Structure 1
Amino acid sequence: MAMTSRSITAIHRAHRDDIADLVTRRPVPAPGLEQVDPFLFLNHHGPQVYRPGNNGLPFGPHPHRGFETVTFILSGTLAHHDTGGHQSVIAAGGVQWMTAGSGLIHAEVSPSEFKRDGGPLEILQLWVNLPSRLKMTPPRYTGVQADGIPAIAIGDGLGTLNLVSGEHDGQAGPIPSLTGVFMATVQLAPGAKVDLPAPAGRAVLLYVVSGRITIGAREVPEWHLATLDDGADTVSVSAAEDTVLLFGHADPIGEPVVAHGPFVMNTREEIGQAIRDYQAGLFNGTGPLLDVGT
């Protein structure tokens, strides 16, 4: 273990805010925590079990501009389609990373098989801001199944870091980030002690999906997000039970954030332009949304 580690500055409980019959918890934004710049928003859907003959996820076609969405499928399946012509069905353990940039309309729904058969579902969706110079970048999308994500042993074999973007232990995540975001999920067994990378000057996103961890003398239980100081290059984490973390770090952007529904820009004028562009059909990309098993 490192001699020095970042310390907790605050612990934020995720707020329960269900969407239709979808169990949803939101740790950021939260009271006293507008963002963990550049991480804007995190929804934790589930865990829950859907009955056969269900309606599936409620995220039909909707627009985005000015940021990126990163979706982690922990259990269940997720179908994506967008007006950039991208489509996929991602299964448990996989990730989809969409750069909305200048504008896309997308849908994230349940495949027909899931709606027919039901089953367990747990999904995390993270919004990552883009700096002003990249807000109008061309949209793109990458979907990666579990077997395309390096699973790196940590903590003397008691932990696994599933590397989505960035580099760790000589390996690189499959999804390149426009802004150098490091992103991973971390699985810890009871007794695990790990030093996670947290380079000085970078904002750290640390959310306990399940289980609980200890950092220093403070415990962070499941469904809580910890914010950290900038006093070291690592964060030392201990787990007393099976635990899953969402863990990432990135350079803060430090620019004004003006959000309006699905648009995140720097000024109100840019929000107005986004609404006008969407209404004018400029987010329609290569054509209508493709049907992906819905």
Structure 2
Amino acid sequence: MPAITVDDLTVLPRISAPGLGDQPRPVKQVSTAPQGYEGEGFPVRRAFAGLDLRDLDPFIMMDQMGEVEYAPGEPKGTPWHPHRGFETVTYMIDGVMGHTDSHGGGGSITDGDTQWMTAGSGILHIETPPEWLVTSGGLFHGVQLWVNLPRSDKRTDPRYQDIRSGEVGLVTTPDGGALVRVIAGDVDGHVGPGSTHTPMTMVHATLEPGAQLELPWQVDFNALVYVLNGAGTVGIDRQPIRMGQSAALGAGDYLTLAADQRQESRSPKMDVIVVGGEPIRDAIAWAGPFVMNTKAEVLEAYEDFQKGRFGHIPA
């Protein structure tokens, strides 16, 4: 997994161990992601499907894209499509994905890069593998997270952030057993580069076999864990969790993850995405690519899209 890493974790800053009186977050639910296809036919796992919607706020959904090894001619993306009312966060782990949008944003992400698109009032975009990758085939693996926008920011101007892997904050545990990549938000004073409308944190952690991660987490944020690969446990009661499963956690000061001592040969370490944010608690009306507060606003979004008010596809 070529997301940014460090040969010697002991050179990194350490996150603090839980202090006297700090409370661990209990596990409320563990769910297994169903599999399906998106865009032009690339495989996805819908990471948070099955979790109580009240535990997701401010997030709408998250897809694990791949992991799949494409033969020559097989790599796929998405056609041009609209969005309004939320942000898409695409974190690329293996392979290459290009992005172009109707407001001039765009670029190519690979190996730990992130593209952060605020759809806001409305945007058209396309996500495609480069032509050379279509020709050669190759590994494709990433994550796309949808982050809701509060009512006051639903019509904000669209924005695009290009976050390179080298900008991500890197920290480790007191014993150096886990690498924590802070993509956005704050973990124990270590800040990621992503700029967010909705207060939130997003990290990608890699745990060595047998390692334990006690991750400080903002008290007023929710907390969701998704296992990209490997197997281990979540919570102080060590509930089993493995690749393709997610966990919703309750209130507390920190969350606990541990990697099994024995991992499968294809995934020698345990990799997890952890996200959390400040709940918005707005009403949600969601239909396809639009996440608004009322049905009337969703119908208005469809009308604005059909009338070309989201911008135009670049030549």
Q: Same fold (TM over 0.5)?
A: yes
- Hey, what does 2:13 align to over in structure 1? none
| Matching of residue 62 in structure 1 with residue 87 in structure 2 | no
Contact 2:98–2:106 (8 Å) recurs in 1: yes
Query: Given the alignment, which residue of 225, 232, 236 partners 1:206?
Result: 225
Q: Which runs of 5+ in 2 are unaligned?
A: 1-16, 264-268
Structure-2 separation of matches of 1:35 and 1:277: 32
1:68 shift after superposition: 0.4
For 2:307, give the aligned amino acid. A
- Hey, what does 1:243 align to over in structure 2? 270
Instruction: Identify if the C-alpha distance between structure 1 residues 64 and 209 changes in structure 2 by more than 3 Å, giving closer, same or farther.
Output: same
Q: Which runs of 5+ in 1 are unaligned?
A: none
Structure-1 separation of matches of 2:286 and 2:120: 14
- Hey, what does 1:273 align to over in structure 2? 300
Matches within 5 A, 1:181-220: 181-214=200-233, 215=235, 216-220=237-241
1:18 shift after superposition: 2.5
- Hey, what does 1:152 align to over in structure 2? 171
Larger displacement relative to structure 2 (109-118 or 11-20): 11-20
1:167-205 Cα deviation digits (max 9, x unpaired)? 235432111111221111111111211111222231112
| Matching of residue 165 in structure 1 with residue 184 in structure 2 | yes
| Matching of residue 229 in structure 1 with residue 250 in structure 2 | yes
Structure-2 separation of matches of 1:35 and 1:109: 32
Structure-1 separation of matches of 2:53 and 2:293: 19
1:41 shift after superposition: 0.7
Instruction: Identify if the C-alpha distance between structure 1 residues 39 and 237 changes in structure 2 by more than 3 Å, giving closer, same or farther.
Output: same
Q: Percent identity?
A: 32
Contact 2:217–2:254 (8 Å) recurs in 1: yes
1:120-168 Cα deviation digits (max 9, x unpaired)? 1111111010110011110001122222222222252111111111123
Give the alignment's TM-score, normalised by structure 1. Answer: 0.92
Structure-2 separation of matches of 1:168 and 1:227: 18
Contact 2:34–2:49 (8 Å) recurs in 1: no
Structure-2 separation of matches of 1:172 and 1:64: 28
- Hey, what does 2:314 align to over in structure 1? 289
- Hey, what does 2:287 align to over in structure 1? 260
Query: Given the alignment, which residue of 36, 43, 63 partners 1:17?
Result: 36
Structure-2 separation of matches of 1:220 and 1:151: 24
Contact 1:208–1:223 (8 Å) recurs in 2: yes
Query: Given the alignment, which residue of 179, 182, 187 partners 2:198?
Result: 179
> 3-state DSSP class of the match of 1:151?
strand
Count of equivalent residues = 286
1:247-294 Cα deviation digits (max 9, x unpaired)? 12110011111001100000011111111111111101xx4336xxxx
1:220 shift after superposition: 1.2
Contact 1:77–1:90 (8 Å) recurs in 2: yes
For 2:232, give the aligned amino acid. I
> 3-state DSSP class of the match of 2:157?
coil
Contact 2:179–2:205 (8 Å) recurs in 1: yes
Structure-2 separation of matches of 1:80 and 1:108: 5
Could you say what the CA RMSD is over the residues aligned between the two structures, in angstroms? Answer: 1.7
For 1:49, give the aligned amino acid. E
Structure-2 separation of matches of 1:265 and 1:166: 24
> 3-state DSSP class of the match of 1:28?
coil
Contact 1:42–1:127 (8 Å) recurs in 2: yes
For 2:275, give the aligned amino acid. G
Matches within 5 A, 1:113-152: 113-152=132-171
Structure-2 separation of matches of 1:35 and 1:76: 31
Contact 1:51–1:119 (8 Å) recurs in 2: yes
Larger displacement relative to structure 2 (161-170 or 7-16): 161-170
Instruction: Identify if the C-alpha distance between structure 1 residues 35 and 272 changes in structure 2 by more than 3 Å, giving closer, same or farther.
Output: farther
